Structure 1
């Protein structure tokens, strides 16, 4: 069995894939990035303008990059087209919303998994952590139908801002459940937030990996 992972940044995602491999079993992984092969100047042209849907990812060298969803979605679809010829399942390494993406193979989107999982839990007060301050209002709208109260904090998963993550977690102590709403947050981030808040925390990368592992299991 082969699994494809597409990222809005550059592949390989050495910050994500090694951490989720244990949940996937003995499979071959093929990656594709929407920014693969682009120069820094070309990547800068994909930055969001005022009012555009902001996405945050990383380049191969670990640099954080801000992207416009509208400008990146076509390149993501090209990655799917490339991978669907080779793999059995495709996972999206981003929690942004991409309703226009299509695939001939099963496409696992963390944004939908997160929304449906949290909705099924009947949460009253939801805490959400996102990478960028410009994502806060958009995130409140995204989760507005899922819980009665939404509290959103922003901390980049790519800049090593441990103090900021601690601050954000302290702000969310009164929530029933916390979602780290970006594929960039790792298991250590989850452990830290859970330790501070004493609240269940949902990590998108492992949620997606567990679902893919379930689909692949013999």
Structure 2
């Protein structure tokens, strides 16, 4: 009979880097990870951690993303601006010894790379949908400026995507309306926090 090793029996807790596109810490995003995996060591890093709010350019590029700063302020930043800062955050977590990196953003960040497993919500969602044979989806975007970039991104990945905007915390009725009127066989919340 095989021996089952429980997580609390591991010598030295495995470590996971949690990367936000804003500033760390983000307990609103990371508390669930800590609760679900109490024997894992989580290290947070933020792409904008070393930048002041005044240093952030207005989002004028092809893919605006929304995030929060350490002070709680919500900011909209373009994915192209974030990419090199996010890569720096990845590199810093790798130097700190993490064994896995999890991106806390649904953006693509195609050029993001590291020498340990990198979990990207967009790539994971695509794989899950394909595994289930789903190609027609209804996608919920957190704000209107993301609708068209999100539609293009899902279509480029081979999905028929109908995109609607709803705030994921305050707009539950709007989400229900999107679900009820859409043609997709699945609803995708294209947003992490």
Q: TM-score range by the shorter chain?
A: 0.7 to 0.9
1:180 aligns with 2:185: no
Alignment partner, residue 138 of structure 2 = 127
SS in 2 for 1:183: coil
Structure 2 unmatched runs, 5+: 1-13
How far off its partner does 1:108 sit? 1.0
Shifted more, 165-174 versus 58-67: the winner is: 165-174
Structure 1 unmatched runs, 5+: 185-218
SS in 2 for 1:3: strand
Judge conservation of contact 1:128–1:153 (CA < 8 Å) in 2.
yes
SS in 2 for 1:119: helix
Q: Which has the larger radius of gyration?
A: 2
Judge conservation of contact 2:68–2:75 (CA < 8 Å) in 1.
yes
1:81 aligns with 2:91: yes
1:66 to 72, 76, 81: 76
1:152 to 135, 159, 163: 163
Alignment partner, residue 123 of structure 2 = 112
How far off its partner does 1:9 sit? 0.4
How far off its partner does 1:12 sit? 1.1
Cα separation, 2, equivalents of 1:166 and 1:117: 26
If the length of structure 1 is used for normalisation, what is the TM-score?
0.74
Cα separation, 2, equivalents of 1:92 and 1:172: 26
How many pairs align?
A: 176
How far off its partner does 1:166 sit? 1.2
Cα separation, 1, equivalents of 2:21 and 2:163: 23
How far off its partner does 1:153 sit? 1.4
Deviation track 1:61-93 (CA, whole Å, cap 9, x = no partner) reads 322110011111101010111111221111111
Alignment partner, residue 55 of structure 1 = 65
If the length of structure 2 is used for normalisation, what is the TM-score?
0.83
CA distance 1:124–1:8, shift in 2 (3 Å): closer
Judge conservation of contact 2:65–2:76 (CA < 8 Å) in 1.
yes
Cα separation, 2, equivalents of 1:118 and 1:146: 11
Once superposed, what is the RMSD of the aligned Cα atoms?
1.8
Cα separation, 2, equivalents of 1:10 and 1:124: 34
